[in-house]
């Protein structure tokens, strides 16, 4: 949409408003300007590399189960956990 058309439509609407409504609109526009100025002045820290969730949490847990096979597969995971539990409780 053409900018002039938007401005003309806005001016037409403004001409029909009461003083109270105009005051509210002026307050709104001034607030938008302040927010825009504030956003321009904010300098976000620059990060060279975006960290993964795992990296943000401190890396791979030292207690993570290590095992062969695809640990994403439930059956493989169940067998691996069962073996680890058996080893742990057989020692005790």
Per cent of the chain over pLDDT 70 is 84
Domains held by the chain: number = 1
Measured between its terminal Cα atoms, the distance across the chain in Å is: 77
Block residue for tokens 């620059």: 46
Specify if 71 maps to a domain. Answer: no
Confidence of residue 18 (pLDDT cuts 50, 70, 90): very high
Specify if 8 maps to a domain. Answer: yes
What is the pTM for the complete model shown?
0.37
pLDDT, tens digit, 9 for 90 and up, residues 27-46: 998 888 888 777 777 766 66
DSSP assigned state of 52:
P
Specify if 23 maps to a domain. Answer: yes
Its domain, for residue 24, covers 3-41
DSSP assigned state of 71:
T
Residue 47 has pLDDT above 70, yes or no: no
As a whole number, mean pLDDT of residues 15-36 equals 90
Specify if 28 maps to a domain. Answer: yes
Looking at every residue in the chain, the average pLDDT score rounds to: 81
Q: How far is CA 27 from the centre of its chain?
A: 30
């Amino acid at each position: 949409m053409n900018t002039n058309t938007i401005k003309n439509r806005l001016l037409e609407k403004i001409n029909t408003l009461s003083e109270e409504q105009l005051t509210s609109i002026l307050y709104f526009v001034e607030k938008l300007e302040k927010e825009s100025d504030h956003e321009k002045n904010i300098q976000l820290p620059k990060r060279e590399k975006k960290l993964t969730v795992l990296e943000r949490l401190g890396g791979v847990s030292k207690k993570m189960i290590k095992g062969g096979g695809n640990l994403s597969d439930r059956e493989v995971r169940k067998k691996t956990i069962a073996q680890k539990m058996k080893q742990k409780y057989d020692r005790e």
